[in-house]
A and B are shown apart, each in its own frame.
Chain A
């Protein structure tokens, strides 16, 4: 009985054609007759064939590897002879330096990451800019570009005046804290409530109300509505005995376009009268809480009352537009009335007695002003230094 190995020896000899004619014939006969032997031969062929092919593959791989090395070497020492006469188009070899190649590899490997990083950076920059802008506009309220709030810095004027007075009488003026900002305010009720603009009292540490005859009262802020630029103050002096009966009333509805309007205010140390017409029923940037009026106003006019010909209070002066000739803005009195109504519900400590009777209607303008000026005050604002 022959072993498998013996058969393998036989098969190999057969494959190489080393068998004698008789032996070969007998093997071929057996192969066609015996399925088991045929299978054995197939297996032998498979294994030996794979081994040969594997050897061939290793040689090929080695050969091709060598080709690459040879090619690189040929590249390093540039050949003068041009490529053998080949008729088809030859791709030009890309000549790139080592650094450039590295850069290219880096770029092709990381371009997605770089792209994402760049977009994040751009996004961050824009978010920051936008956020800063929003923050700043939130800080400044509605003093937008081209809009000036009319509160007055008092230091400058006071100092100028002091210099002036020093020249006149040669004596040194008594240094008094002149207050930092000033505006105008007017009586809301007879018993000590006043109205002014919210921006006038912004950042106030203490408030001083000064009447035309230099009567001074300390006041406190009751409520400040920055959005509509309104503030309600109350006099807190114990000796304060009331303003007396208010001659004007507050108009709850809207005033008409073209109505003659006037104001009293303190853009300087003395009370100043200004008049004009109601020129639009919306304010800066189309803000419907404001009127536009054609009254020449100056810093210090803020918080001043705006009255129509019949002596109805229709607004509170707030600001002006710089690049437009005499365009001043005033908060509509309807917002003031609404604010007072809402405060009535919330604060019951001291009730609001709004005036009901108008004593100015029908009087001449100069008479109206004479009555009115006792109820318009300078609001001086002190900030903590």
Chain B
């Protein structure tokens, strides 16, 4: 391994540590650092600026979630990992939206070893999670009021039980809590029903 990539890997490790610790500036730095690469790649492969942005945000999300969980096993530079994830994501979008059957991507030479970065598995995991969230969001909309706003308020918007009691006009926090648990059991049924069926 040459000096360059050794120092790069060291810097990457530092960055990952900072992001894992919740350093927003580190994440922002990482984001800015690799954006040109991905945007260039997408623009090169018949995508627009907005496509590039979507793909990149998705890719960074996969990376970020893995880092936050502490389950990222990086066998290459962050740059290569991100390139691999975004490449995969863009290829997927292209094939779904393109009428042409064989989509061939123009690749940058320097990201050659993108195929064995483990990015593929991480991406699959993230997609599985996406599907779960989509099902959850759907279950929530099917739940109906007041359950939906109650659960969304509590879980998604981080409101306190007291706020929710006032908001929904319950006599006290305990009633609201009981209501919340009832709603949760209903949500469970809806969620499992549609998640397993899918």
Contacts and interface: CB of A to CB of B under 8 A. Distances in A.
B44 interface: yes
A50 B49 contact: no
B11 A43 contact: no
A136 B133 CA distance: 73
Chain A interface main SS type: helix
7 contacts: A8-B184, A50-B132, A51-B156, A68-B31, A83-B33, A87-B10, A105-B43
B115 interface: no
Given A54-B155, A87-B7, A87-B8, A9 B178 contact: yes
Nearest to B132: A50
Interface of A: 4-6, 8-9, 12, 43-44, 46-48, 50-55, 57-58, 60-61, 63-65, 67-68, 70-71, 74, 83-84, 86-94, 101, 104-105, 108-109
A10 to B, nearest CB: 9
B72 to A, nearest CB: 15
B64 A89 contact: no
A104 B43 contact: yes
A55 B27 CA distance: 19
A9 B12 contact: no
Contacts of B182: 5
B177 interface: yes
Given A71-B31, A71-B32, A92-B36, 18 more contacts: A9-B181, A50-B133, A51-B136, A51-B155, A54-B137, A57-B129, A63-B27, A67-B31, A68-B53, A74-B32, A83-B29, A83-B33, A86-B11, A88-B77, A91-B33, A94-B36, A94-B40, A109-B46
A9 B176 CA distance: 12
Nearest to B179: A5
Interface in B17-47: 24, 27-29, 31-37, 40, 43-47
B60 interface: yes
Given A87-B11, A108-B46, A67 B28 contact: yes
Contact of B60 (A55, A64, A92): A64
Pick the 9 closest A-B CB pairs, nearest first: A88-B8, A5-B181, A8-B181, A51-B155, A67-B31, A5-B182, A4-B185, A108-B46, A87-B7
Interface residues of B, number: 53
B188 A43 contact: yes
B136 A54 contact: yes
B180 to A, nearest CB: 9
B185 A5 contact: yes
B192 interface: yes
Contacts of A68: 31, 35, 53, 56-57
A56 to B, nearest CB: 8
A88 B31 contact: no
Nearest to A51: B155
Contacts of B65: 57, 60
B162 to A, nearest CB: 16
Contacts of A83: 29, 32-33
Given A9-B178, A108-B45, A50 B4 contact: no
Contacts of A71: 28, 31-32, 35
Contact of A9 (B10, B27, B177): B177
